[in-house]
């Protein structure tokens, strides 16, 4: 199992940004490089707690990033490099997306005990 599958978040409360998108399918190479760069840049922001992401073969993607508080989220959205990429996302990559900001109130996990 990929150790990056799960974000190792602290006890709630904290915040989640749920980003659901449909990729147009164009310019996938630059998109891949830029996505990786954005994850790296996000992880450097004050208040970043982790991220979980997947994209299926039909172009649907869900990325959930976790943050200490609303202020940290707003600061990340105001980051200049991120703003530039957000614009490229609208112009070039995404046919549509939804963003939801939510306050995580409770959480639990399950790990298979006999996994080898």
Give the footprint of its own copies on this chain (CB under 8 A): 1-2, 5-7, 9, 12, 16, 18, 20, 22, 24, 52-62, 64, 90, 94-112, 115
| Spatial distance between the Cα atoms of 103 and 12, rounded to a whole number of angstroms | 9
- Exposed, middle or buried by CB within 10 Å (0-12, 13-18, 19+), for 62? middle
The residue among 41 and 62 lying less far from its own copies, judged by its C-beta, is: 62
The residue among 40 and 109 lying less far from its own copies, judged by its C-beta, is: 109
Give the nearest distance from C-beta 45 to its own copies in angstroms: 19
The residue among 7 and 39 lying less far from its own copies, judged by its C-beta, is: 7
**Dihedral sign, CA of 25, 29, 31, 35?**
positive
């Amino acid at each position: 199992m990929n150790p990056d599958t799960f974000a190792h978040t602290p006890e709630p409360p904290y915040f989640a940004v749920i980003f659901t998108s449909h990729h147009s399918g164009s310019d996938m190479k630059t998109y891949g490089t830029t996505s990786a760069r954005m994850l790296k840049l996000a992880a450097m922001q004050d208040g970043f707690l982790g991220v979980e992401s997947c994209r299926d073969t039909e172009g649907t993607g869900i990325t959930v990033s976790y943050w200490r508080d609303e202020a940290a989220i707003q600061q990340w959205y105001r980051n200049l490099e991120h703003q530039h990429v957000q614009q490229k996302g609208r112009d070039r990559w995404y046919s549509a997306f939804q963003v939801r900001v939510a306050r995580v109130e409770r959480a639990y996990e399950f790990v298979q005990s006999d996994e080898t």
